[in-house]
Amino acid sequence: MTSVPRFNVSARYRKDESDEMVSGIRGNVGRSESMRTGASVDSHDSVGGGSTGNGGSGGPGSNVRLGFANLPDQMHRKAVKKGFNFTLMVVGESGLGKSTLISSLFQQDLYKDRELGSATERVNKTTEIDKRQIELDEKGVKLRLTVVDTPGFNDAINCQDCWRPIEDYIDNTFEQYFKDECGLNRKNIVDHRVHCCLYFVSPCGHGLRPIDVELMRRLHSKVNIVPIIARADTLTQAELRDLKERVLADLDRHKIQTYRMPDTDSDDDEETRRQESDIRACIPFAVIGSNCVVESADTGRRTRGRQYPWGVVEVENPKHCDFAKLRIFLLGTHMQDLKDITKEVHYENYRAKYITERMSKRKGAVRDDFETRKSKNTTEANFEAIVDTEGLLKEKEDEIRRMQQMLQQLQQQQQSSASTAATVPTSVSAASAAGDASGHAAAAAVAASNSGSASAAGVPAASANGQ
Ligand code: GDP
């Protein structure tokens, strides 16, 4: 694990709330006895247990606690124990400050070892995928962060298809996740899906360039795009305002859907609403990155910034750029929503498309098969039934194959434990017992699978009869 940075991202998670949560957990320990007996009673309840106030226990408006109010605490503890993961992609041409921004955001230099190619090398360079992982820890909450950089994008003279490796990468992560979900070991799936893509727009242009539009159009239904105006210190305030407007207009004109922050909840406090509306108002985020610490001209504080002959620009100063808001948005307030949208919208889209395509491919193959066999009695209805059956059979075959592999592995394990047992006589009975047990378990799994396939195999027989 790399060194542990400390963030000062307050966001919605304020001290008083977390303290309350901790004291809530402690408080519950003392209540466990009453919970076991069915219900716990609020401290302000009467000793008589519900004879006052809102009426008898369990009645409408009763103060009796059943215990499920602790569910959020249970989930909180479980989630913290498990840790979180987040995958961030950065896209933009070389030199826009992607790696510097990542270092500024996470306060670590992830790209110490990076070598910049010469101009001649970059002329023919294709887009690469560079994936780095770090583990961060803040107040005991662990975050496994993966940063996917795309060096080479838009660097070559001929940029045709330079978006393809990026699009393929995102598709592959979805495909991998889909396969893992259909596999046997669903419990330990590693999620490589990209939760957010920071798209770096050049400060030198007059809005989005054709290559930006091309890539964003391909990605917007697959990943949460968050547009960034890079190197904002190279623009005056008026130029920056103008560029932001142009970028938003271009996105609108080309119907590109970037990540949309959810509306604030009616029960959110005033501070949260203000913070969210400030963040919303500054998209696309105009950012400045820096790898060094400078002394602030106003306060004399040492802070990340860029020193110029005429003064200092501070990365975290909200008057100088939107970096602080971007960090609150990304790490403090919207990380979970970015993950939820990835799972519930982008991945679901992929999954639905994948299954539909697979089904239509299968239908096409079966139809071809029929046509070659010149089956005269096939109606549309039993054609659909056969397609379904073929699908079922294929899935069962895959399952059996996986079971057989598992059985083989178990047999190998059994053999190796038997040979260990032969060398250490005292462990003979235990090893063989374990081996037998695992062998039986696998055999039972295969038998179950076979019986499944037998029932599936019964379907084509019926439909074949129907022909
Ligand atoms: P990448 O190729 O997109 O990863 O860009 P780098 O992060 O390697 O930055 C390229 C150059 O731009 C370096 O010399 C950085 O110091 C400089 N740079 C990075 N961020 C900024 C910024 O916000 N403003 C200015 N003026 N220069 C920056």
Domain-embedded: residue 174? yes
Strand order of the β-sheet with 311-314 is 293-295, 302-308, 311-314
Domain-embedded: residue 43? no
Check pocket membership of 231 for ligand 1, CB cut-off 6 A. Answer: yes
Q: Give how many domains the chain has, as a whole number.
A: 1
Check pocket membership of 288 for ligand 1, CB cut-off 6 A. Answer: yes
Q: In the prediction, which pLDDT does 372 show?
A: 64
Check pocket membership of 88 for ligand 1, CB cut-off 6 A. Answer: no
Domain-embedded: residue 103? yes
Task: Determine the distance separating the centroid of ligand 1 and the alpha carbon of 434, expressed in angstroms.
Answer: 59
Check pocket membership of 116 for ligand 1, CB cut-off 6 A. Answer: no
Task: Determine the distance separating the centroid of ligand 1 and the alpha carbon of 454, expressed in angstroms.
Answer: 63
The number of the ligand 1 atom at minimal distance from the alpha carbon of 94 is 2
Check pocket membership of 94 for ligand 1, CB cut-off 6 A. Answer: yes
Task: Determine the distance separating the centroid of ligand 1 and the alpha carbon of 101, expressed in angstroms.
Answer: 8
DSSP E strand boundaries for 222-335: 225-229, 285-286, 293-295, 302-308, 311-314
Domain-embedded: residue 101? yes
Check pocket membership of 305 for ligand 1, CB cut-off 6 A. Answer: no
The number of the ligand 1 atom at minimal distance from the alpha carbon of 92 is 3
Task: Determine the distance separating the centroid of ligand 1 and the alpha carbon of 100, expressed in angstroms.
Answer: 6
Domain-embedded: residue 460? no
| Ligand 1 pocket, mutate which of 96, 100, 102 (most atoms under 8 A from CB) | 100
Count of C-beta atoms within a 10 Å radius of residue 254: 15
Check pocket membership of 152 for ligand 1, CB cut-off 6 A. Answer: no
Q: In the prediction, which pLDDT does 338 show?
A: 96
CA atoms within 13 A on the CB side of 181: 13
Domain-embedded: residue 246? yes
Instruction: List the chain pLDDT tens, one digit each, 467 residues.
Output: 444 344 444 344 333 334 333 333 333 333 333 444 344 444 444 434 444 444 444 455 567 778 888 888 888 888 888 889 999 999 998 889 999 999 999 988 877 776 666 666 655 566 678 889 999 988 888 999 999 988 767 666 566 677 788 999 999 999 999 988 887 777 788 899 999 999 999 999 889 998 899 999 999 999 999 999 999 999 999 999 999 999 999 999 999 999 999 888 778 888 888 888 999 999 999 999 999 898 877 777 888 999 988 888 999 999 999 999 999 999 989 999 999 999 999 999 999 988 888 877 776 766 666 666 655 555 666 666 666 666 767 777 777 777 788 888 888 888 877 776 555 443 333 334 344 444 444 444 444 444 444 333 333 333 333 33
User: Burial code of 259-289, b = ≥16 C-beta within 10 A, e = fewer?
Assistant: bebeeeeeeeeeebeebbeebeeebbbbbbb
Domain-embedded: residue 54? no
The number of the ligand 1 atom at minimal distance from the alpha carbon of 230 is 23
CATH code assigned at 181: 3.40.50.300
Domain-embedded: residue 290? yes
| Interatomic CA distance for residues 163 and 199, integer angstroms | 12
State which residues form the domain around 113. Answer: 72-360
